[in-house]
Amino acid sequence: MHAVLTGHAKSVTAVAWSPDGTRLGSVGWDGALRTWRAPTGAIVPELSIGGRDLREVTPNPTSDRLLVAAQEYGALSGALAVVTAATLAVEFVIEEPSAQVGIHAWSPDGARFAYGLWDGRVSVRQASDRSE
Protein backbone atom coordinates (compact mmCIF):
# COMPACT_ATOMS: atom_id res chain seq x y z
CA MET A 1 0.00 0.00 0.00
CA HIS A 2 1.19 3.51 -0.82
CA ALA A 3 -0.78 6.58 0.20
CA VAL A 4 -0.11 10.28 -0.15
CA LEU A 5 -1.91 12.38 2.44
CA THR A 6 -2.51 16.00 1.50
CA GLY A 7 -3.72 18.97 3.45
CA HIS A 8 -0.74 20.97 4.69
CA ALA A 9 -0.18 24.34 3.01
CA LYS A 10 3.56 24.46 3.82
CA SER A 11 6.39 22.07 4.71
CA VAL A 12 5.64 19.12 6.98
CA THR A 13 8.15 19.10 9.87
CA ALA A 14 7.20 15.91 11.74
CA VAL A 15 4.97 12.84 11.59
CA ALA A 16 4.20 10.29 14.30
CA TRP A 17 2.05 7.16 14.58
CA SER A 18 -0.18 6.66 17.59
CA PRO A 19 1.10 3.71 19.65
CA ASP A 20 -2.05 1.74 18.81
CA GLY A 21 -1.50 2.32 15.06
CA THR A 22 -4.95 3.82 14.41
CA ARG A 23 -3.86 7.41 13.69
CA LEU A 24 -1.01 9.31 12.10
CA GLY A 25 -0.27 12.89 13.17
CA SER A 26 1.58 15.52 11.17
CA VAL A 27 2.66 19.08 11.93
CA GLY A 28 4.11 21.74 9.74
CA TRP A 29 5.15 25.29 9.03
CA ASP A 30 1.56 26.10 8.11
CA GLY A 31 0.86 26.01 11.86
CA ALA A 32 -1.49 23.03 11.65
CA LEU A 33 -1.58 19.72 13.46
CA ARG A 34 -3.43 17.22 11.30
CA THR A 35 -4.41 13.71 12.30
CA TRP A 36 -5.30 10.99 9.84
CA ARG A 37 -7.15 7.73 10.37
CA ALA A 38 -5.15 4.69 9.35
CA PRO A 39 -5.49 2.93 6.96
CA THR A 40 -8.20 5.06 5.25
CA GLY A 41 -6.26 8.34 5.30
CA ALA A 42 -9.39 10.23 6.34
CA ILE A 43 -8.44 13.50 7.98
CA VAL A 44 -9.89 14.31 11.37
CA PRO A 45 -10.05 17.82 12.91
CA GLU A 46 -6.97 20.01 12.69
CA LEU A 47 -5.41 22.21 15.35
CA SER A 48 -3.59 25.52 15.30
CA ILE A 49 -1.65 26.91 18.27
CA GLY A 50 -1.79 30.69 18.01
CA GLY A 51 -0.61 30.80 14.39
CA ARG A 52 2.81 29.39 15.30
CA ASP A 53 4.84 26.98 13.22
CA LEU A 54 4.47 23.47 14.62
CA ARG A 55 7.71 21.49 14.79
CA GLU A 56 7.13 18.13 16.49
CA VAL A 57 4.27 15.88 17.57
CA THR A 58 4.53 12.92 19.96
CA PRO A 59 1.64 10.72 21.17
CA ASN A 60 1.66 9.35 24.71
CA PRO A 61 1.78 5.57 25.31
CA THR A 62 -2.03 5.24 25.50
CA SER A 63 -2.65 7.38 22.39
CA ASP A 64 -5.01 9.75 24.19
CA ARG A 65 -2.71 12.80 24.51
CA LEU A 66 -0.16 14.53 22.29
CA LEU A 67 2.81 16.80 22.89
CA VAL A 68 3.14 19.48 20.21
CA ALA A 69 6.15 21.83 19.98
CA ALA A 70 5.51 25.26 18.47
CA GLN A 71 7.46 28.41 17.67
CA GLU A 72 6.97 31.69 15.87
CA TYR A 73 9.08 31.92 12.74
CA GLY A 74 12.37 33.66 13.52
CA ALA A 75 11.67 33.93 17.26
CA LEU A 76 13.94 32.64 19.99
CA SER A 77 11.00 31.59 22.15
CA GLY A 78 8.87 28.47 21.93
CA ALA A 79 6.00 26.56 23.46
CA LEU A 80 4.91 23.02 24.18
CA ALA A 81 1.22 22.14 24.13
CA VAL A 82 -0.46 19.14 25.73
CA VAL A 83 -3.40 18.17 23.52
CA THR A 84 -6.27 15.68 23.86
CA ALA A 85 -5.79 13.40 20.85
CA ALA A 86 -9.44 12.53 20.13
CA THR A 87 -10.68 16.13 19.94
CA LEU A 88 -7.43 18.06 19.40
CA ALA A 89 -8.41 20.31 22.32
CA VAL A 90 -5.45 22.08 23.90
CA GLU A 91 -5.28 21.11 27.58
CA PHE A 92 -2.49 23.57 28.41
CA VAL A 93 0.50 25.33 26.87
CA ILE A 94 3.94 25.73 28.45
CA GLU A 95 5.57 28.94 27.23
CA GLU A 96 9.36 29.03 27.02
CA PRO A 97 10.21 32.73 26.51
CA SER A 98 13.99 32.30 26.30
CA ALA A 99 14.46 29.23 24.09
CA GLN A 100 12.86 27.18 21.34
CA VAL A 101 11.46 23.78 22.28
CA GLY A 102 13.24 20.92 20.54
CA ILE A 103 12.66 17.22 20.88
CA HIS A 104 10.26 15.82 23.48
CA ALA A 105 9.15 12.44 24.84
CA TRP A 106 6.63 10.83 27.19
CA SER A 107 7.66 8.50 30.01
CA PRO A 108 6.66 4.85 29.37
CA ASP A 109 3.71 5.18 31.78
CA GLY A 110 2.56 8.54 30.36
CA ALA A 111 2.72 10.23 33.78
CA ARG A 112 5.62 12.55 32.83
CA PHE A 113 7.16 14.13 29.78
CA ALA A 114 10.51 15.69 29.03
CA TYR A 115 11.56 18.22 26.44
CA GLY A 116 14.82 19.72 25.29
CA LEU A 117 15.40 23.42 24.77
CA TRP A 118 17.74 24.98 22.27
CA ASP A 119 19.65 26.68 25.08
CA GLY A 120 20.87 23.31 26.40
CA ARG A 121 18.30 22.69 29.16
CA VAL A 122 16.07 19.62 29.53
CA SER A 123 12.79 20.05 31.40
CA VAL A 124 10.89 17.14 33.02
CA ARG A 125 7.27 17.67 34.11
CA GLN A 126 4.34 15.76 35.50
CA ALA A 127 1.73 15.40 32.75
CA SER A 128 -0.92 16.70 35.15
CA ASP A 129 1.07 19.85 36.07
CA ARG A 130 -0.49 22.80 34.25
CA SER A 131 1.66 25.45 35.95
CA GLU A 132 4.25 27.44 34.04
CB 66 within 8 A of CB 86: no
CB 93 within 8 A of CB 49: yes
Q: CB pairs under 8 A, 24+ apart, for 41-45?
A: 41/3, 41/5, 43/5, 43/7, 44/88, 45/87, 45/88
**Does residue 27 sit in helix, strand or coil?**
strand
Interval 81-117: pLDDT, tens: 999 988 888 999 999 988 888 889 999 999 999 999 9
Burial of 12 (0-12, 13-18, 19+ CB in 10 A): middle
State residue 132's pLDDT score. Answer: 59
State residue 129's pLDDT score. Answer: 81
CB 23 within 8 A of CB 71: no
Interval 47-88: pLDDT, tens: 777 778 888 889 999 889 999 988 877 777 889 999 998 888
Write the single-letter amino acid at 83. V
State residue 61's pLDDT score. Answer: 92
Q: How far apart are the two ends of the chain, measured CA to CA in Å?
A: 44
> What distance in Å separates the CA atoms of residue 49 and residue 23, rounded to the nearest whole number?
20
